[in-house]
Structure 1
Amino acid sequence: MRSASLPPDDPGPVFDGVQVLEVAQWTFAPAAAAVLADFGASVIKIEDPVTGDPQRGLASSGVVPMVGGVNVVTAQTNRGKRSVGLNLRDPRGHELLLRLVDRADVFVTNFRGPARRKLGFDEDTVRARNPRIVYARATAQGARGPDADRGGYDFTSFWMRSGIAAALTAEDADRPLPQPPAFGDKAGAMNLAFGIAAALYRRERTGVGSTVDVSLLGSALWQHSSAILYSWGLDREFPVVTGRSANPIARSYRTGDGRWIALMMIESDRWWPDLCRHLDRPDLLADERFADAAARSANHDACVAELERVFAALPLREWERRLADLAGPWAVLRSMRETATDPQVVENGYAVPVDHDGTEVRLMSAPVQFDEQVPELRRAPEHAEHSEQVLLELGCDWAEITRLKDAGVV
């Protein structure tokens, strides 16, 4: 259904008119629904009418920071949605949920199977009410197998179980390398959003609704598949941390002021001459030890030692000036704070300022753009902010809404 506010020659957002119903918590599934909202979907988030999504409590408990009074985790994960507080344990609340199911194109959840069945929004119940719906399940370990109904966060199911933590942890470390916050959740969310988009496309062509399954474990195995497949093929752990590239210009070098520059010139013979010129070391081109890729590999340590001395001689600012027009792939190791002013981040709209009732907070946009347009992000809702509005849309009158509120249903 096309928005009436769009001019006839404007195709509008990709998911304009798509109705999404989210019964989910924390980050994985909610972040997928937020991506759909970025691109025009109307997303209704169902929350417990008293406690809300437990993610909201992370800021008040000091686990995540507040920025100008805004819970940035909730802002990032739930932007562009409407929030309805609904007690699904009450039959009246459950019936209201099913009335929302009637209107939905997509149902998104990350509740475990037993909870979905107990609360009455398992796939069979939802599909009996709306056969064309796309039913999207975000799970920890997958929909089948002995751990299908076992819960998990991305730290356990994505980071630890998949081998990623093992690959990045040094053998002599006192504990596994910790995971960045929501690292696996965000990867899984994009996979889930893709699955939902594909299911909507299939339904457009066939009229048939699909069940979409994405797990944190499956997302991690895909993300980490190169090193895992190397390990399986070699029948030993592929050395990610301690492994040494045979190519001296596919590694990092420390500058004179302690910063790092990464070279990733896989086509070594293609990039070596230009690199030497930019380093102001044309003599390296005449050195038989470094004549070609095979020679540089055979004399790896000597080549690396030369390059280490070169890069250590100057500060980062000077290297950025000298390498500015170097065609071969290279990058500076940036801090998270530095990304805020990275011109590529700014110019491409990868971080978007969003007004939260007078407080502007920059949020990360989904890493997809259509027709060179940066998605317009809207703030996340307050807990149960839109309950009355949505119930009125369902046909409830104010007297009924008052009774439902008095009874703790909404």
Structure 2
Amino acid sequence: MDGVRVVEVAQFTYVPAAGAVLADWGADVIKVEHAVTGDAQRGFAYLGPVAAGGSFAPLMEHPNRGKRSIGLALEKPEALEVLYDIVRRSDVFVTNFLPDARARLKLDVEHIRAVNPDIIYVRGTALGVRGPEADRGGYDQPTFWCRAGSAAGISSPDLDGVLGMPGPAYGDSVGGMTIAGGISAALFARERTGEPSVVDVSLLSVGAWANGLAVDLSLVSGKPWLPNGPEHSGGFVRNPLVGIFRTADGRYLNLNMMQPGRYWPDFCKHIDRPELALDERFDTAEKLMDNAVEAAGIIAGEIAGQTFAHWMERFRALEGQWAPVQNSVEVGQDIQLRANGFIAEVIDVDGQVRELVTAPVQFDEAPAQPIRGPQFAEHTQQVLTELGLDEQAILDLRIAGAVA
């Protein structure tokens, strides 16, 4: 994305996360924040900096790494003219502002295209741009997770309630990656045809796509997809080598060998029960599937007899597919993520070495090299100077309250 300029009028994580991905890929992303209040997410305290008195806040760094920040009070005509000047020099305009705010601030498609007819215009919405609820906002927990079916699909029927997302900004991050892909396709199309696109991505559509196979099956059957309850947690009804199994120390492993007949003999060796491969109940794929519940019970008993660390070591040479159930600390230290450069070092504003998860796409086997996110309005002077404004013009804008 070297040479691509993106102007982002957005806040929180959904949509700004797309800018972070593009910045990881080399784009020049200019983040427009309100000249007084900044991105509203800067005021969130519940995830805070990594250390008392520190300035490295993952809540801001994750969706804003690699960007430049300019503070503009877009309700003022002078600030809007500055934004339009940036737009004239940009390839992509991206926003998550609601329709009434876009219209009031003159940020809608017709306003931006009047300034730059060739710009790709991107809207990240909660519920789409058409329909009776198009003007409503939303966040990933209610829209991506709950409304699009993931919450119901993961919550066991015997659970008194539903499970929340596995981590903060979960749907926002998936949505941001989706928007970045849409922007890439639009840039490619413009290069081929000369025509700029209007790109729309909603949290609801991303959530429905993430849950798409379950929805597709329900469209055929007319029945909701039900999560696997406790009775299936140690092996599917027809495949004992698919399921979640508990270890002696209360940790969990996921087996996911979709061809049980192929992997059964090797698996039996790795749990020190090679005789099971010759057992007349399990010695063919058909018998193994017919007696899957019984086989799963044996597997569960064996895995429950040893610790998580034991199986992590024992299963390293296992031919079939499996994975440990890891928490977020363990994911951050995952040997494969690190070997492939998906956990990267960044230097924060205080000169401290920090780490961030990078965008999940690499080009030519080169890991991304993200830089820290901007402080509020940190690059205002720099961007205004690039636009050709002299010191007096910048001072006039500040006196007018148009820029930070």
Check whether TM > 0.5. Answer: yes
Instruction: Pick from 352, 356, 359 the counterpart of residue 359 of structure 1.
Output: 352
| Residue identity matched to 2:213 | S
| 1:322 Cα offset (Å) | 2.2
Check if 1:336 corresponds to 2:328.
yes
* 1:267 equivalent in structure 2: 259
Q: Deviations over 1:307-334 (max 9, x none)?
A: 1121122222222232221111011111
Uncovered stretches (5+) of structure 2, i.e. residues with no partner: none
**How many pairs does the alignment contain?**
393
| 1:110 Cα offset (Å) | 0.5
Map 1:196-345 → 2, pairs under 5 A:
196-242=183-229, 244=232, 245=236, 246-345=238-337
| 1:221 Cα offset (Å) | 0.7
Check if 1:192 corresponds to 2:192.
no
Q: Deviations over 1:69-94 (max 9, x none)?
A: 12111011101111010011011111
Instruction: Answer with 295-304 or 104-113: which moved more.
Output: 295-304
Distance 1:257 1:393 in 2: 59
Contact map agreement 2:157 2:227 (CA 8 A) in 1: no
Instruction: Pick from 56, 74, 79 the counterpart of residue 93 of structure 1.
Output: 79
Distance 1:326 1:334 in 2: 18
Contact map agreement 2:94 2:121 (CA 8 A) in 1: yes
| 1:278 Cα offset (Å) | 1.6
Distance 2:98 2:392 in 1: 35
Q: Percent identity?
A: 45
Distance 2:13 2:353 in 1: 22
| Residue identity matched to 1:405 | R
Uncovered stretches (5+) of structure 1, i.e. residues with no partner: 1-14
* 2:44 equivalent in structure 1: 58
Contact map agreement 2:140 2:171 (CA 8 A) in 1: yes
* 2:50 equivalent in structure 1: 67
Instruction: Pick from 145, 150, 160 the counterpart of residue 164 of structure 1.
Output: 150
Check if 1:388 corresponds to 2:381.
yes
Contact map agreement 1:191 1:219 (CA 8 A) in 2: yes
Distance 1:394 1:109 in 2: 21
Q: Deviations over 1:274-303 (max 9, x none)?
A: 111222212111222212333223222211
Check if 1:407 corresponds to 2:390.
no
Check if 1:373 corresponds to 2:360.
no
TM superposition score normalised by structure 1: 0.93
Root-mean-square deviation (CA), in Å?
1.3
* 1:16 equivalent in structure 2: 2
SS of equivalent to 1:171: coil
| Residue identity matched to 1:353 | E
| Residue identity matched to 2:12 | W
Contact map agreement 1:21 1:101 (CA 8 A) in 2: yes
Q: Deviations over 1:24-68 (max 9, x none)?
A: 010111010111111111111100000000111113xxx113113
Contact map agreement 1:22 1:45 (CA 8 A) in 2: yes
TM superposition score normalised by structure 2: 0.94
Distance 1:174 1:309 in 2: 28
* 1:147 equivalent in structure 2: 133
Distance 1:364 1:319 in 2: 27
